[in-house]
Amino acid sequence: MVKGQNLVINGSGSYSGGSYDKVVIRGEGTIVSDIEGSVFKTYGTSEALANVKVESMRVFGEAEIKGRMTAQKCLVMGTMSIESQAEIKELKVRGMLDAGEYLNGAKADIKGSLSVDGDVEFDTFHSIGSFEVNGLLSADTITVRLRHCRSSAEEIGGGNITVKRKSLLIPFLKDEGLLIAKIIEGDDIYLENTEAEIVRGNTVKIGPGCTIGQVEYSDSFSQDTDSNVKVKTKRG
């Protein structure tokens, strides 16, 4: 990175990559080769045809990355797509993020929409928006608040997994938030409004609104009367 060298795009056109301090796109800009820098901000429309490595990425408009992305921090207020792998230490999604092969980091805070074709791995994963993970969603701590939308993952694994319905401002409206997964496996698990084929854990608490095919637990199990669990098995 060259300190003080900036790339600012106010109109439209294609530009070469390289090392910059700041990259700011207010118009329509295409970066044709690898780019790295301190700050990358998109207010208009940006397209990176290769890899992006930055300390901070902020998307207020539309951003598309064809290659890999590496960032310390990423804030998505608009829409963003990453076709290849993404490593983001601190991720905040307030708009929409579509990722391709793999998404990992330390902390994910989802209040918009997240869609990932592959696996997702963070230390902590918190969502009050919606997500669709076609692979494994794993984190030491997973906290999901469901509200008027469906979230799904092929598998969910972690230490502490908590899924709750978000309290409604208008109590007489039906809460339609739902989590769907084939397998949920963790140490301490609490679920509401969840459909799963298999749930495995040390301590498993099934709250209201769940439909579970099989629960396997080693320490303790409890079930709300408003939920359906077909098979319950205590492991030795």
Residues 130 and 57 in one domain: no
DSSP annotation of 67 reads S
Whether 202 is in a domain gets the answer yes
86 within domain boundaries: yes
User: For the ranges 32-36, 41-45, 144-148, which has the lowest average pLDDT?
Assistant: 144-148
Buried residues in 50-77 as b, exposed as e (16+ CB within 10 A): ebbbbebbbbbbbbbbbbbbbbbbbbbb
Residue 222 included in any domain: yes
pLDDT at 172 over 70: no
Domain that holds residue 5: 1-105
110 within some domain:
no
Residue 184 lies in a domain: yes
CA distance 222 to 133: 28
**pLDDT tens digits for 45-77?**
999 999 999 999 999 999 999 999 999 999 999
Residues 101 and 147 occupy one common structural domain: no
What's the number of domains the chain is made of? 2
pLDDT tens sequence across 18-39: 999 999 999 999 999 999 999 9
| Whether residue 72 is found in the same domain as residue 129 | no
